[in-house]
Structure 1
Amino acid sequence: MQASEIVTHISQSQLAERWQLSESTIERWRAEGIGPIFLKLRGQVRYRLEDIRAFEEDSMRASTSKAVAA
């Protein structure tokens, strides 16, 4: 595997810590289709850092009604 192919994944608990939310909120959001896409392997949920960063970028707001232009 080349260095350019390495993808970093984080767990639900790490994402909850990153966003200062409870794990149950992350679970609920996942069930409701809110938040970044995720990977589920044999019952283990993982998030790619690139997907988390993309979700965070898409969530940037200048006001409650206006997204930040990218």
Structure 2
Amino acid sequence: MSKLWSIADVADFLGIPVQTLYQWRTKKYGPPGRRVGKYVRYVPEDVQAWFEAQPAGVG
């Protein structure tokens, strides 16, 4: 397994603000994250799979 990603890592990967990820978590949207103590961590493969599952062709 690769190193877990922080919220900042996921935001950078997706090209979105960190605050957007926090908002998505409250709405049960976005890539699946896991709490590790007081931190939220993401498995990179889960984030990439979530991204690939999103509909293509915006615009």
Q: Is 1:55 aligned to 2:50, yes or no?
A: yes
**Structure 1, gaps ≥5 residues long:** 1-5, 65-70
Give TM-score, length-normalised by structure 1: 0.73
* Change in 2 beyond 3 A, CA 1:9/1:62: same
Q: Is 1:41 aligned to 2:33, yes or no?
A: no
In 2: Cα distance, 1:56 partner to 1:10 partner:
15
Number of positions where the alignment pairs a residue of Structure 1 with one of Structure 2: 59
**Structure 2, gaps ≥5 residues long:** none
User: Secondary structure of 2:50's partner?
Assistant: helix
Percent identity over paired residues? 24
Amino acid of the residue matched to residue 42 of structure 1? Answer: G
Q: Of the two structures, which has the highest relative contact order with CA contacts closer than 8 Å and spacing of 6 or more?
A: 2
Note the aligned Cα RMSD (angstroms): 1.7
Deviation at 1:30, TM superposition (A): 1.0
- Larger relative strand fraction: 1
- The runs of at least 4 consecutive aligned structure 1 residues that moved more than 2 Å come to none
Whichever of the two has the greater Rg, that structure is 1
